[in-house]
Structure 1
Amino acid sequence: MSAEALLNGALLGGLYALVALGLSLVFGIMRVVNLAHGIIVLAGAYVAIVITRMVPIDPLLTFLVVGPVVFIIAALTQRLLLQRLLGHSVEAPLVATFGLLLVGQGLFTYGFGTNPLSLSAPWGSSGVTILGVTVQMVNLIAFVLAAAVIVATQLVLTRTRFGTALRASAVDPATASTLGVNISLMHALTFGAAAAIAALAGIVYGTAFSVDPSGGLPLLVLGFTVVVMGGVGSVPGTLVGGVTVGVVAAVVGGVIGPVYAPIAVNLLLVAVLILRPQGLLVRIKVRRVA
C-alpha cells in the first residue's frame, strides 16, 4: 500500500465530507432525514454543466450562480412543502423527500439522458507533488474546500447570534419560539444552506467523476455513511467520517481490489453502528453542534 494512495484517499475523504455536510445539518437542526439529498448534489453538477456549456468558465465559478439558485429553490421547498408536513407525522417528510428524489431523477433523465456526464477543468485531471508524494489536484481542492466550509459552518453555529438561534431551535423549538426565534425561517434557511453546500459538492464531484441521473441514491448512501461514522449532527465529525471512508476505501482498493472498497466501507459502517453508534468523534454531541 503506497503513501500516495493513502494520501489521495484521505484527501478524497474531504469530498465525501462535503457531500455529507448538508445531510448532517438538516438532521441536526430540523430532525429530518432528507432522502432527496443525493439528487441535490446531482443538481449542483448538472446546473454547472449547463452553465459551462453556455459560458466557458471554471466549474467552481459556476457556484456563484448555482449556489443562490439551489438555496432559493430548497428554502422555498422547505417552507411550502416540508414545513407543512412536519406537523403531521415523522414519516411524512421522509415520504416527501423520497418523492423529490424520484422526481429529480426523472427530470434529469429527461433533460440529460442516461449517459454519464462530467465537468471539465484543468485541475480535474492534473496532479501536484507534496513532499515527494503526487496527489490529484481535484482531491486536494476538495479537501481544502471541505475543511473551509466545515470550519465556517462550525464558527457560525457556535460564535454568532444566528447560530445560537439555530441551535436553540434544534434543542427546544417551543421555548425558542417564545423567545422570538422564527422556527420556520430557521428551518428554511438551514435547508437552503444545506442544499447550497450539497450543490458545491456536486460541482466538485462532477469534475472528479462523472454523474448520471441514477446517482442520487448512491450519493445519499455515501452521505449517510459519513454522517454516521463522524457522529450524527456533528459538523467536525463530518470531516472525520469522510476521511475515514476515503482511507478505508483506498486501503482495501489497493490491497484487495477496487471492487471490494464499497463492501469494506459498508462493513465498517455496520461495525460503527454496533460498537459506537454515537460516531467516531467521541466528545461531540448532536445538540451541541446542531
Structure 2
Amino acid sequence: MSAAALLNGALLGGLYALVALGLSLVFGIMRVVNLAHGILVLAGAYLAIMITRSVPVDPLLAFLGVGPAVFVVAALTQRLLLQRLLDHSLEAPLVATFGLLLIGQGFFTFGFGTGPLSLSAPWGRSGLTVAGLTVQMVNVVAFALAVVVIVAVQLLLTRTRLGTALRAASTDPATASTLGINIGLMHALTFGAAAAIAALAGIVYGTAFSVDPNAGLPLLVLGFTVVVMGGVGSVLGTLAGGVLVGVVSTAVGALAAPVYSSIAVNVLLLVLLLVRPRGLSIPRLRRKALP
C-alpha cells in the first residue's frame, strides 16, 4: 500500500462527506431521517447528464441549473408533504421518504434505463502530482468542494442571523415559534439546501464513478455511515467521518481486496459506536447552545 493510495483515499473522503452532509443537516435541524437522500444524490447526477447531453458544458457548470431546480422541488416537497406528516408523528415522514426513494428509483429506471451512466469532464480523467505523489484530480476537486461547502455551512449556522434561527428551530421549535421564527420556512430551507448539496455530490460522484437507478440505497447507507462516524448533526464532523471512511476503505482494498472494504468500514463503525457513541466530532448541532 503506497502513500499515494492513502492520500487518494483521504481526498475521496471529501466526496463521501459531501454525499453525507445534507443527511446530517436534515436530521440535525429537522429531526427527520431522510431515507430519500440517496435519490437526491442521483437526481443531481441524472439532471447533469441531461444538461451535458444537450449543452457541452462542464458538469460542475451544470450545477447552476441543477442546484436551484433540486432546491425548489425539495423545499416544496417538505412544505406540502413532509411538514404535514411531521405535524402528526415523527414516524410518518420516515415512511414517506422511503416511499420517495422507491418512486425516484422507478422514475430514473423509466427515464434512463437500468445501465450505469457517467459524466465526462477533463478533471474526471486526469491526475495531479503533489510532492511526488500522484492523485486523481477528481478526488482533489471533490475534497476542495467538500471543504468549501462544509465551512460555508458551518459559518452560516454559527455566524449569521439565519443560522441562529435555524439552530433555534432545531433546539426548541415551540419557543422559537413564539419569538416569530417561521419553523416551517426554516425546515423548507434546510431540506432544500440539503437536497442541493446532495445534487452537487451526485454530479461529482457521477463524474468519479457511474450511477444507476439502484444506487440510491447504497448512497444512503454510505451517507449514514459517514454521519454516524463524524457525529450525528455535526457539520465539521462530517468531513472527519468522510476522510476516515475513505482512508479505511482504500487501505483495506489495497492490502486485501476491494470486496472487504465495506466490511472493514462497517466493523470500524461498530467499534467506534462502542468506544465513542457520539462520533469523532465536535459537538453536534442539536447540542449547541444558542448565542
TM-score after normalising by structure 1: 0.98
In structure 2, the partner of 1:272 is: 272
Question: How far apart, CA to CA, are the structure 1 residues paired with 2:68 and 2:282?
Answer: 35
SS across alignment from 2:211: coil
In structure 2, the partner of 1:47 is: 47
The one-character-per-residue Cα deviations of 1:148-184 (angstroms, maximum 9, x if unpaired) are: 0000000000000000000000000000000010000
In structure 2, the partner of 1:194 is: 194
Mean Cα deviation higher: 259-268 or 224-233: 259-268
1:172 equivalenced with 2:180 (yes/no): no
SS across alignment from 1:196: helix
1:210 equivalenced with 2:210 (yes/no): yes
Mean Cα deviation higher: 88-97 or 139-148: 88-97
Cα offset for 1:287? Answer: 2.6
The one-character-per-residue Cα deviations of 1:17-73 (angstroms, maximum 9, x if unpaired) are: 000000000000000000000000000000000000000100000000000000000
The one-character-per-residue Cα deviations of 1:99-150 (angstroms, maximum 9, x if unpaired) are: 0000000000000000000000011011000010000000000000000000
In structure 2, the partner of 1:224 is: 224
Structure 1 stretches of 5 or more lacking a match?
none
Question: How far apart, CA to CA, are the structure 2 residues paired with 1:181 and 1:73?
Answer: 23
Cα offset for 1:90? Answer: 1.6
In structure 1, the partner of 2:108 is: 108
Equivalent residue runs for 1:239-278 within 5 Å: 239-278=239-278
Cα offset for 1:282? Answer: 5.1
Question: How far apart, CA to CA, are the structure 2 residues paired with 1:278 and 1:286?
Answer: 12
Q: State the one-letter code of the partner of 1:83.
A: Q
Cα offset for 1:274? Answer: 2.0
Question: How far apart, CA to CA, are the structure 1 residues paired with 2:284 and 2:40?
Answer: 27
Total equivalences in the alignment: 290
Mean Cα deviation higher: 275-284 or 224-233: 275-284
Question: How far apart, CA to CA, are the structure 2 residues paired with 1:279 and 1:113?
Answer: 38
Q: State the one-letter code of the partner of 1:241.
A: G
Cα offset for 1:285? Answer: 5.5
Question: How far apart, CA to CA, are the structure 2 residues paired with 1:187 and 1:234?
Answer: 17
Task: Confirm or deny: 8 A CA contact 1:157 1:289 kept in the other structure.
Answer: no
Question: How far apart, CA to CA, are the structure 1 residues paired with 2:4 and 2:102?
Answer: 39
In structure 2, the partner of 1:140 is: 140
Structure 2 stretches of 5 or more lacking a match?
none
Task: Confirm or deny: 8 A CA contact 1:25 1:233 kept in the other structure.
Answer: yes
Task: Confirm or deny: 8 A CA contact 2:232 2:284 kept in the other structure.
Answer: no
Cα offset for 1:271? Answer: 1.3
Alignment RMSD? 1.1
Task: Confirm or deny: 8 A CA contact 1:59 1:203 kept in the other structure.
Answer: yes
Identity of aligned residues (%): 78
Q: State the one-letter code of the partner of 2:180.
A: G
Equivalent residue runs for 1:279-290 within 5 Å: 279-281=279-281, 283-284=283-284, 286-288=286-288
- In the TM superposition, structure 1's runs of 4+ consecutive aligned residues that sit over 2 Å from their partners are 282-287
SS across alignment from 1:88: coil
Q: State the one-letter code of the partner of 1:47.
A: L
Task: Confirm or deny: 8 A CA contact 1:154 1:289 kept in the other structure.
Answer: no
TM-score after normalising by structure 2: 0.98
Cα offset for 1:273? Answer: 1.9
